[in-house]
Amino acid sequence: MASEAGQQHPLGIYYKIWILLFVLSLFSYMVDYMDVQGFWRWTLVLIFMALKAGFILAIFMHVKWERMALVMTILGPPIVLLLLIFFMAVEGHYTESARVQYLGHDANQAPAHVEH
């Protein structure tokens, strides 16, 4: 909802969200640092990412306090991206299987380690 005098809110909420963003970033970095792999890596990284993105949008960008007409304009169109992601994932897997099946690529190689 549009507030009476622009987007004016108490400072406290910005400090809280700021600290929360630091903590969430630290958590996602720890996922990498602790070398969590597989299912939990994807789950944790995506949850922390969604929370961070949500808080930035809702509080810092004030979407939480905007009128529904503007909120729908901002959040509505990007939803079609889910369809693009789905189709391109299907297409990508098909291309990979074709490379393995017809070009003899080996899909199970490990990447070379990095020498610093």
Partner 1 sequence: MSQSEAVANGSPTAAGMTGFVQDWKADKQTYHVPWGKAMMWIFLVSDTFIFSCFLVGYMTVRISTADPWPLATEVFALSFFGSDPIPLILIAIMTFVLITSSGTMALAVNFGYRRDKRKTVMFMLFTAALGATFVGMQAYEWSKLIEYGVRPWSNPWGAEQFGSVFYMITGFHGLHVTAGVIYLLIVARKVARGDYDKKGYEIVEITGLYWHFVDLVWVFIFAFFYLL
Among 64, 77, 79, 102, binds partner 1 (CB under 8 A): 77
Strands (E), 17-77: none
Amino acid identity, residue 71? Answer: V
110 binds partner 1 (CB under 8 A): yes
Whole-number minimum distance, CB 94 to partner 1, in Å? 8
78 close to 32: Cβ distance less than 8 angstroms:
no
Tell me, what DSSP letter sits at residue 6? S
The binding track of 28-57 with respect to partner 1, each residue x by CB under 8 A or -, is: xx-xxx-x-----xx--xx-xx--xx--xx
CA 74/CA 63 separation, integer angstroms: 9
79 binds partner 1 (CB under 8 A): no
Instruction: Give just the sign of the alpha carbon dihedral 98, 100, 103, 105.
Output: positive
CA 65/CA 58 separation, integer angstroms: 8
Where on the chain is the footprint of partner 1 (CB under 8 A)? 1-9, 11, 14-15, 17-18, 21-22, 25, 28-29, 31-33, 35, 41-42, 45-46, 48-49, 52-53, 56-57, 59-62, 66-70, 72-74, 77-78, 81, 84-85, 88-89, 91-93, 95-96, 99-100, 105-107, 109-114, 116
